């Protein structure tokens, strides 16, 4: 069942097949915990899709909101948590994940699955998160401690400043 769900969303989803994919997902046994867990995993990992299909996944999420609103709430909550975790960890290898997740969040807002307050809070986090003091006790090679709050633009801020326009 898991392979079928992954095939539907990752491979078969396109502009022409979105209605068929929605019908097949609606026909699944939503009372089965393993099916719900698999759907949750698939709908909270937009980086596994083609970048152009992220909007289609948001459209699919919006269509599922009529039938399973609690599922959509859990997806939105997980997407917000993934963005926040990505900001806190700042691992270079997960940049594409963060970009796709931020785009997915913006697309979810376009379908009115998020309120504007949540969007502005996330936008504020994207813009200001990197300008706080670095959470780790960073000591450069010279051995002198460094006050990051006095530097105008630390090296890791450019990534977060690129996310904000993508989100808008």
95-106 burial, b at 16+ Cβ within 10 Å, e below that, comes to eebbbbbbbbbb
Q: Identify the CA nearest to 167 among candidates 123, 127, 130.
A: 123
pLDDT in tens, 62-96: 999 999 999 999 999 999 999 999 888 878 888 88
Q: Band the pLDDT of 16: cuts 50, 70, 90.
A: very high
19, pLDDT greater than 70: yes
**Phi-psi sector, 50: left (phi>0), alpha (psi -120 to 50), beta:** beta
Range of the domain at 104: 2-167
**In CATH, what number is assigned to the domain containing residue 49?**
1.25.40.180
CA–CA distance from 13 to each of 17, 51, 56, 60, 99 (Å)?
6, 12, 8, 9, 20
Q: Give the count of domains, the chain.
A: 1
In this predicted structure, what is the pLDDT of residue 165? 63
More confident residue, 6 or 147: 6
How far, in Å, CA of 166 to CA of 168, rounded?
5
pLDDT digit string (tens) for 126-164? 777 754 544 444 444 544 444 444 444 455 555 555 666
Higher pLDDT, 100 or 128: 100
pTM above 0.75, yes or no: yes
């Amino acid at each position: 069942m898991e392979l079928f769900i992954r095939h539907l969303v990752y491979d078969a989803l396109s502009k022409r097949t979105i209605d068929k994919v929605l019908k097949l997902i609606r026909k699944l046994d939503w009372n089965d915990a393993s099916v719900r867990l698999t759907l949750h995993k698939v709908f909270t990992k937009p980086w596994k899709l083609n970048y152009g299909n992220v909007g289609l996944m948001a459209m699919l999420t919006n269509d599922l909101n009529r039938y399973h609103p609690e599922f959509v709430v859990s997806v939105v909550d997980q997407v917000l948590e993934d963005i926040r975790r990505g900001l806190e960890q700042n691992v270079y290898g997960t940049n594409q994940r963060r970009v796709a997740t931020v785009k997915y969040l913006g697309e979810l807002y376009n379908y009115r699955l998020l309120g504007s307050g949540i969007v502005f809070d996330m936008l504020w986090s994207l813009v200001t998160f990197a300008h706080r003091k670095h959470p780790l006790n960073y000591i450069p090679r010279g051995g002198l401690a460094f006050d990051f709050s006095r530097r105008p633009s630390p090296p890791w801020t450019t990534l977060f400043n690129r996310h904000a326009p993508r989100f808008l």
